[in-house]
Structure 1
């Protein structure tokens, strides 16, 4: 009996490891790691070989010296396995550590074990399988009795599964199921931070992403295989903007396959801006480590890391989709010397006011240069046919010629491109519906496909009521000169406007005033040095 008791005690001691905290609730900050992970073509090898190879790379990153100071590590969407190698995942309420439990696939077992060995919180996206139906779900089930989900699984320092989020807003993803409603998933840590988590395309919707913030969560984990799109939705651009608007710490881990438009990883400290971020032009595998100040400690020291910033020429290797902006109402900026320019543009219920000061430089005839247009939009778009949504925007857009159809495109890598226009200041003002379901944010991107630093801009919102209707007056300003802008805008989603009730165009209009600052340059052509 004594021997049996000793063996049982030894097994329990091996299985339950006391948490080795790196950060504590008393600390002003915690340490996070986000992984940019090279996404490989899953058709080039057998699914089990693919999953095994990627699991090995994941464990190498977790065991690396770079990960030593980290409390929590986040991995990207669809980097680990696929439908053929989907795994069961314990219900977090059951408090199970799948390490060495044969019911679960090797991916889940080994990640549980390494989380325990390294004493790290891990957030890993994988394809999960689950018996159906679940929770009285009356929807048809697959003949094999299994649902498959795109799932973020959270392991604690002892390898227990403490949270499980199944992606609700799918972007295609054949063979993947969804829950009946969007789950709002959070989990607590031993360093005093409660996290929420969602996945990729979820960011474009109210549920569950914005509901997490409404519930008071200040730290968000985002796994993604984003397909970047000009002019408003390149990966780090929208990650920083979402974090800023909601004033949350945002831990984003991106799949890395620039040839299909996937890259974008970073850690963002709410309204204080990015700590570290990258948009790659070549596929890469790298762990980015950041010390993250807690949102409720505004005096905590924030150390921003230097950008991994690539040139516009290098970034032509990153494939970028183009938004459906041809329905925007727009006008071109006069390409004359030193100019003050004011314009008001309206479409449907939205009017935008622009006040700009910019300088146009001479460009030799053998070089290309970006022209610019001001644009306004209040209408519906499709997200590649997978969903439709209402968009509202006041924007300055770079274009490769004088037409709107050339905006949100770039010159190819054979072109010699000059930065012909320096924007000394930009101010955009708009009045939008005041409902919380109209979600607006400051939005910018430069020619390296990175957003401007928050210190280079000012953003403000003012709520007011007129005739018993609530409105938001929004102002977005550029306060540091820039000559490499691709877009600068107030951009957002209108969740209360149903996609199938797009409004008839009520009015489009423009008024503009051009005031050259230097009479000597008045009327100068961009290609006329005289």
Structure 2
């Protein structure tokens, strides 16, 4: 029996006189849903059925905005029950038993089945969604099936072998690829769409747990969209108390079009006008201001949140990521404004040039206030999730200690920002022929939003594949920067034991040679981006 609908996507599949977008349109309207599900059975209705009825409400709202495609999050239909504030922990037998009761056969797309018109062969929740799709003036047939390849806390779940590469084409002329949650940071199937010239619009549906400093939802979504240079839709399960992340729509290297990170549990529809891309990944029209927005449902429209909505635990992600694995250097902007360093970790050397300004008068006026500190870090190894990583980064911290560089001050704290990062360049050498994908990761603390590529920062690679120079350059001063990193996912190291934490202080070298090379490349106009 097929695992129950982890990905739910509705898109136009047939012509309609009311349809706004068509094959010749330079854009289309897309939406992602930030949804907090009902997690416990209500009367005689199954959890999946109650959530499907909420989906129907959301679909109707999306249709009122002439939306062409809408994406729902992972695990939001057949959800995980709660155990107090946390999600219930299952062993393998319990997990399979729980989902067996909610599972439904899902027809193959080539069968052309319209579930809305069928008998009781399929779960009622599927039928509700299929019928609701007619709000989009389509018939409600299954157009694609996706199987999750890289699991997290899903004991007893089968993984399809070989993994399914899922795509579908719409009648408004766009082919979409899609995958689920943690697949985004693994080699397969996500990298298939990085190299695939025929798929330039990609969907990920998630139940993500933020893990600072490098695996927070908003930075990962924007970074993957930049690396693949695709229109990217990310729909996330809303659960602030459990460290749930945010949702957004991204325009490849140009960065976020619209994002939603509410800092508390809610239900929202994120809508944007998305320019189509040509064969060179150039937009057919420019992004238009005012054509994207977030609609937050009230509790009468989508009644899934009881009592006061849960607030985000700012330090929950600090329990996930161990920066003691890195080699690091603390910035001291109150002592000097120029910081030029080379930091090496297990054979990887990262060159940093940071220019800062520091307002001592702000500190003098609020001597008891808190302020963020910054570390420069390098990592060449395997993290505690057994992921291979190559990282050169600047990260913010709530103290001088590296262990606090995955944390944030809570909203009740009196926080000042006397420091501004006025100039920042990170460079490193990389062998692009190895089993690795490089992402430019950025995150602002304010709004929890990634920077915009091209206007806020530049990320480039130059030189031969076996010795490329990777360069990441901050283009505008920032006082709320949380993360700025060249993040490499080293896939061939996955599954190895985590690297040993350092108990020594690295030798940090002053280095100008790489920065001179950056200046030469800029003057010569010889930037290029080498894609593996």
TM bin (shorter chain): 0.7 to 0.9
- 1:408 aligns with 406
- C-alpha contact 2:349 2:378 (8 A) present in aligned 1: yes
Q: Matched residues in 2 for 1:338 and 1:375: separation?
A: 19
Residue 151 of structure 2 is aligned to residue 170 of structure 1: yes
Secondary structure of 1:496 counterpart: helix
Q: Matched residues in 2 for 1:281 and 1:263: separation?
A: 9
Q: Matched residues in 2 for 1:382 and 1:438: separation?
A: 18
- 1:464 aligns with 464
Spell out, residue by residue over 1:279-334, the C-alpha distance to the aligned partner (whole angstroms, 9 max, x if none): 121111121111110121524020255887xxxxx865684344221110001112
Residues 170 and 422 of structure 1: CA distance in aligned 2, closer, same or farther (over 3 Å):
same
- 2:47 aligns with 50
Secondary structure of 2:225 counterpart: helix
Residue 339 of structure 2 is aligned to residue 352 of structure 1: no
Secondary structure of 1:86 counterpart: coil
- In the TM superposition, 1:294-373 aligns within 5 A as 294-296=276-278, 297-304=282-289, 319-321=316-318, 322-336=320-334, 339-362=337-360, 363=363, 364-373=366-375
- 2:88 aligns with none
Spell out, residue by residue over 1:385-409, the C-alpha distance to the aligned partner (whole angstroms, 9 max, x if none): xxx2101100111122222112111
Q: Matched residues in 2 for 1:46 and 1:390: separation?
A: 47
TM-score normalised by the chain length of structure 2: 0.79
- C-alpha contact 2:325 2:383 (8 A) present in aligned 1: no
- In the TM superposition, 1:169-208 aligns within 5 A as 169-208=150-189
Q: Matched residues in 2 for 1:493 and 1:104: separation?
A: 40
- 2:107 aligns with 90
Residue 476 of structure 2 is aligned to residue 474 of structure 1: no
Residues 114 and 458 of structure 1: CA distance in aligned 2, closer, same or farther (over 3 Å):
same
2:127 to 98, 109, 129: 109
Shift of 1:375: 0.6
Spell out, residue by residue over 1:133-188, the C-alpha distance to the aligned partner (whole angstroms, 9 max, x if none): xxxxxxxxxxxxxxxxxxxxxxxx32111210111111112342211222111111
Residues 162 and 17 of structure 1: CA distance in aligned 2, closer, same or farther (over 3 Å):
closer
- 1:73 aligns with 70
Q: Which moved more, 1:174-183 or 1:345-354?
A: 174-183
- 1:124 aligns with none
Spell out, residue by residue over 1:182-210, the C-alpha distance to the aligned partner (whole angstroms, 9 max, x if none): 21111111111110000001111010011
Shift of 1:503: 7.9
Shift of 1:508: 5.1
Q: Matched residues in 2 for 1:112 and 1:427: separation?
A: 50
Spell out, residue by residue over 1:246-275, the C-alpha distance to the aligned partner (whole angstroms, 9 max, x if none): 110001111111111113111101112211
Residues 495 and 304 of structure 1: CA distance in aligned 2, closer, same or farther (over 3 Å):
farther
Secondary structure of 1:288 counterpart: strand
- C-alpha contact 1:220 1:248 (8 A) present in aligned 2: yes
Secondary structure of 1:405 counterpart: helix
Q: Matched residues in 2 for 1:285 and 1:114: separation?
A: 18
Residues 435 and 100 of structure 1: CA distance in aligned 2, closer, same or farther (over 3 Å):
same
Q: Matched residues in 1 for 2:286 and 2:73: separation?
A: 28
- In the TM superposition, 1:373-384 aligns within 5 A as 373-383=375-385
TM-score normalised by the chain length of structure 1: 0.79
- In the TM superposition, 1:153-302 aligns within 5 A as 157-216=138-197, 217-296=199-278, 297-302=282-287
Secondary structure of 1:167 counterpart: coil
Q: Matched residues in 1 for 2:283 and 2:126: separation?
A: 37
Q: Matched residues in 2 for 1:361 and 1:336: separation?
A: 8
Secondary structure of 1:417 counterpart: coil
Decide which structure has greater strand share: 1
Secondary structure of 1:396 counterpart: strand
Spell out, residue by residue over 1:37-76, the C-alpha distance to the aligned partner (whole angstroms, 9 max, x if none): 1144x24657943222211110011112664411111101
Q: Which moved more, 1:110-119 or 1:55-64?
A: 110-119
Secondary structure of 1:87 counterpart: coil
- 1:489 aligns with 485
Shift of 1:18: 5.5
Secondary structure of 1:488 counterpart: strand
Secondary structure of 1:64 counterpart: helix
Shift of 1:476: 0.5
Q: Give the aligned length.
A: 448
Q: Matched residues in 2 for 1:233 and 1:26: separation?
A: 38
Residues 410 and 425 of structure 1: CA distance in aligned 2, closer, same or farther (over 3 Å):
same
Q: 5+ unaligned residues in a row in structure 1: which ranges?
A: 1-15, 120-156, 309-313, 515-530
Q: 5+ unaligned residues in a row in structure 2: which ranges?
A: 1-12, 80-98, 295-310, 513-532
- C-alpha contact 1:18 1:158 (8 A) present in aligned 2: no
